[in-house]
Structure 1
Amino acid sequence: MSPLRLLTLPGDGIGPEITEATVRILHAAAPLLSRELSISRAEIGFPALKAEGTTIPEAVTAAAQKADGVILGPVSHNAYPPVAEGGLNPSGVLRKALELYANIRPARSYDGLPPPTGQAFDLIVARENLEGFYADRNMAQGGGEFMPEPGVALAMRKITEAGSRRIAEAAFKVAQGRTKKHVTAIHKANVMRMSDGLFLDVARDVARGFPDVDYDELLVDAAAAHLVRHPQKFDVLLCTNMFGDILSDLASELSGGLGLAGSLNLGAVHAVAQAQHGSAPDIAGQDRANPTSLILSSAMLLRHLGETRAATAIEAAVTRAIAAEKTRTSDLGGALGTQAYTDILCCYLEESKP
């Protein structure tokens, strides 16, 4: 059997630290895999810009296309030079090159970290990944922002039937494997009647093909309020790009913070695990970063690739560590740094070996 080939792209800021921690966890979980693990590395972000004049060289994209899965660290794209000078957003480039149309973002409460509402919850945001207001900035390709005259800025929102159908089907398939089996489509069709109207028309059509999954709809502003008040009522939130980006951050904060937020970008062929948070350059190199987001994202990637046993063990190790203050990182009220926290997780994984 061919090895499981994973490509790591550490990125900027705390990216190299949390990627190193994630690689350690993957090696610790390797005995639970069904095949040999092979992990390679390539540079993106500022290291790549300095070495090759671009934040994501074409060779990196080609390597990502050949790998079984990619582990993408955070990048500092807001600090990059203009695109013409090589300052591309690596995340955006990979999403388009690999056709990663779905961004799956779980959020749940943990023992030891009581949710603000006092109610335990477990939900998933299924976010469309290629359209909406975040579409390609080239106007010829149907998206982005432009200024027709000084002092006037316009934004184009691209919603297609095909794109809406892909993310809707992904959301319903996720819901089928869960206990509640419930999808809530998030929209603002009372204002954006054409774009969100199209999105809802497609969602309703897809819902008819999943009679075992309950379906309803909710305005995005109401969804934000309901998430804060009673997140336990949600199961899978089906969202367009921007709404999914915002609501998933809100849900993650309710679970304990973005440091716990796993994220998996999916396409028909490729998959990229990605930390949901930013590169946090202010704490880079200080052994203070919480690597859980990227670790859980990598567990999601393993599960997607059929390695359920290893994924479950990693998730269980994280849950166990978070449950006690003495085994948490400082952002969660503990005293552990990146390395010591990773050591704890590796010990827990060692105990789970057959």
Structure 2
Amino acid sequence: MRQVTLIPGDGIGPEITEAVKAIFAAANVPVTWDEENAGQTTFEAMGELIPASLIASLKKNTVALKGPITTPVGKGFKSVNVQLRQMFDLYSNVRPAKTTKGVNTRFENVNSVLFRENTEGLYAGLEMFDERLQISDSVARVTRVGCEKIIRAAFVYADKHGCKKVTAVHKANILKSAGALFLGVFNEIAKEYPNIQADDKIIDNMCMQLVAKPEQFDVIVTTNLFGDILSDLCAGLVGGLGVVAGANIGDEMAIFEAVHGSAPDIAGKGIANPTALLRSAIMMLHHLDMKDEANRIEAALEATLANKEECTGDLGGKAGTMEFAQNIIAKL
């Protein structure tokens, strides 16, 4: 039995978390939940965004499943997600985007995985503001070590899963220093994997290519800001943030998460779609080498998604959150 830290989050987080817990219980997944929370609800109740008890749980369990978290706006708080990533060096943000039968989109045969560097770049927090001149400077810190870790993670994944191509996305034509460092490290590491095709795209061209012919991409690796934008673009190709998984992975810890927002406008109504969190939980099971359980739940989820009537409203159905979960359970 494996203990996992469970962070329900805010808004619809607790509802979709309960749905995932029910599906795991029905599938007899050998996981026990160590439940802790973070975010706005926790701040209002305890006076802190990230309680010490959550940090202790994460350090003990080294694997977590996290619902959507709200960081209070306009009060000077740093994003909870960013804090956790930097606190535990979760340098690899992994976002699969795959076409699903029953989820209508403009594209077919999309099947890519994006690796986004998660701790540096423009999100490193290196900002300066000159009050007198009203000038703001944000520094994009890119390090060789950071580039090596995220690029190697992408190639290791591609090699392990039989992927044919890894594409680096950059802006080396303009960002002569940072872009050149990222691209140079990519070309060095690519030589270690002669069986995998390696190519690169400038970020603006990449956006055009993704919305014109997304099926040409397999594994994508890029820096923090570009990855933040591209991961949502890729989600849009396959049905939106409500149906895609996400993970923040480091050498010592992994946090799997729903990448959509907390949707306070529908919180408590029992209509939220738990697919994104469930797919993240399935990723977590693969990470824990519980492949049989992961494959069973994934097959049941995809069979349910293929039948619109059994899905939540955002997918064209009429099922509530727990009814959707029960439809999945019936197919296990």
What's 1:146 paired with? 128
Counterparts of 2:310 and 2:240, CA distance in 1: 16
SS at match of 1:124: strand
Percent identity (aligned): 37
- Looking at structure 1, the residues matched to 294 and 10 of structure 2 have their Cα atoms a distance apart, in angstroms, of 26
**TM-score (norm: length of structure 1):** 0.90
The equivalent of 1:27 in structure 2 is 25
Give the aligned length.
331
Runs (5+) with no aligned partner, structure 1: 138-142, 350-354
Q: Determine the structure 1 residue equivalent to 2:100.
A: 110
Cα-to-partner distance string for 1:299-338 (whole Å, 9 max, x where unaligned): 1011011111111112212211111111221111111111
Matches within 5 A, 1:8-47: 8-30=6-28, 33=29, 36-47=30-41
Where in structure 2 are the equivalents of 1:1-354 lying within 5 Å?
3-30=1-28, 33=29, 36-77=30-71, 79=73, 81-83=75-77, 88-117=78-107, 119-135=108-124, 137=125, 143=126, 145-149=127-131, 150-349=133-332
Residues 55 and 89 of structure 1 are in contact (CA less than 8 Å); yes or no, is this contact kept in structure 2? no
SS class of match (2:141): coil
Question: Which is worse superposed, 193-202 or 45-54?
Answer: 45-54
Q: Secondary structure at the match of 1:263?
A: strand
Q: Is the 8 A contact 2:94 2:115 kept in 1?
A: yes
Q: 1:261 to 1:78 in 2, by over 3 A?
A: farther
**CA distance in structure 1 between the aligned counterparts of 2:248 and 2:128, rounded to whole angstroms:** 28
1:75-108 superposed Cα distances (whole Å, 9 cap, x missing partner)? 112537323xxxx432222212221110110001
* Structure 2 stretches lacking a partner, 5+ long: none
Measured in 1, the distance between the counterparts of 2:72 and 2:7 equals 18
Q: What is the distance in 1 between the residues matched to 2:105 and 2:237? A: 6
Amino acid at match of 1:94: L
Deviation of residue 273 (structure 1)?
0.6
Distance 1:177 1:124, change over 3 A: same
Q: Which residue identity does 2:63 align to in structure 1?
A: G
Paired letter, 1:342: A
Distance across 2 between alignment mates of 1:244 and 1:311: 26
Distance in 2 (CA, whole Å) between partners of 1:314 and 1:151 is 54
Root-mean-square deviation (CA, aligned residues, Å) is 1.5
Separation in 2, partners of 1:78, 1:240: 26
Q: Is the 8 A contact 1:69 1:271 kept in 2?
A: yes
- 2:259 touches 2:276 (CA, 8 Å); kept in 1? yes
Q: Is the 8 A contact 1:132 1:242 kept in 2?
A: yes
Q: 1:59-89 CA distances to partner (integer Å, 9 max, x unpaired)?
A: 2112111114101111112537323xxxx43
Query: TM-score when scaled to structure 2?
Result: 0.96
SS in 2 for 1:134: strand
CA distance in 2, matches of 1:215, 1:227: 17
